Amino acid sequence: MKRPGMALIRGVLAVAGIGMLVPAPAAPAAEWAPIRPVRLIVGFPPGGATDLVARVIQPKLSEALGRQVVVDNRPGANGTISLDMVARAEPDGRTVAFGHIGGLVISAAIQKLPYDPLKSFTPIGLMVTLQNIIITHPGVAAKNLDEFVALARTKPGRLNYASAGVGSPGHLAAELLEAMTGVRMNHIPYKGGGPAITDLLAGHVPSFFAVISTVVPHVQSGKVRGIAVTGGKRSPALPAVPTIGETVKGYVATNWYGLLAPAGVPGAVVERLSRDLVSVLRQPEIAGQLAARGIESTPTSPADYAAFIQSETGKWAPVIRRANIGN
């Protein structure tokens, strides 16, 4: 999977009118350090990809900051509940949350939110990028993407697929596939990837547009069948699973997570959080753990993360409108 292009990010930064709040460089002062535990809010339940990334980085981030980082799962509404919590928190560096395409780009395009994705937060940095993957229960009569699409054609609007929620990256990836192939499927939204994979393993839902990290062990063990990944290249974690683009030319859909704090966080706080986050994500041990689950460590500066969110908004908003998601 390709890292977000630095040329693209720098280009977006140069565009006038960027609304995302990017803190000014901190004035010379004593370095900020947390005096109490830091709460890391995750907008999805345990077992999902966001929770996995949080649990991998939590020990090392606690060590770097010198205070315990506590992972607080607050699932629901495609992660928007968790983002609303951090938007309302005191801007003192003690409360941060995962920013993601679902809560910052997709949900913002389909509904009125209690926060402004571009003004209610201080970006700390992009953390990781990852693919989605189409998986099926072994009992489904489709062993590859051609057969999966053909099965959908024989059951217009009746082939069920799970996602982590309405407006989730998996939902959007499925909508893009429908648009590019002309098939119609039936969306079954869940409150996160963990509950969805549980139901697929039990045979309650035949297919799932999943974040790759949540299902790598299940594909490797043969408990589920990997049909195709959604990124621009095959995942090193599952090299035998082809990309959708190998069959449907031009198809690419990726996912990403970053770190956000409330708007108004002092520059010294942002500088410390950003520095320690980048340091943790660049550690070979951490990058290796993530790569084994199909997740690429891609740390950036606060300004580059703000620009990346803007670029993703411009890319996906038209797709969301065409798919009529949320209406």
DSSP string, 220-284: HHTSSEEEEE-SSS--TTSTTSPBGGGTSTT---EEEEEEEEETT--HHHHHHHHHHHHHHHTSH
Q: Which of 192, 208, 196, 172 is nearest to 75 (CA)?
A: 192
DSSP string, 105-166: IIHHHHS--SS-TTTSEEEEEEEEEEEEEEEE-TTSS-SSHHHHHHHHHHSTTT-EEEESST
Q: Which of 154, 141, 160 is nearest to 200 (CA)?
A: 160
Residue 224: predicted pLDDT: 98
CA distance 130 to 128: 7
Give the tens place of pLDDT for each residue, 23-56.
Answer: 555 444 468 999 999 999 999 888 788 999 999 9
Domains of the chain, earliest start first: 6-129+255-323 (3.40.190.150), 131-246 (3.40.190.10)
Backbone phi and psi for residue 188, each to the nearest 5 degrees, phi listed first: -115, 100
Query: 8-22, 35-49, 86-100, 111-125: which range is least confident on average?
Result: 8-22
Q: Which residue has the higher pLDDT, 156 or 213?
A: 156
CA distance 187 to 159: 8
When pLDDT is cut at 50, 70 and 90, the band that residue 5 belongs to is very low
Q: What is the DSSP letter of 47?
A: T
This prediction's pTM? 0.76
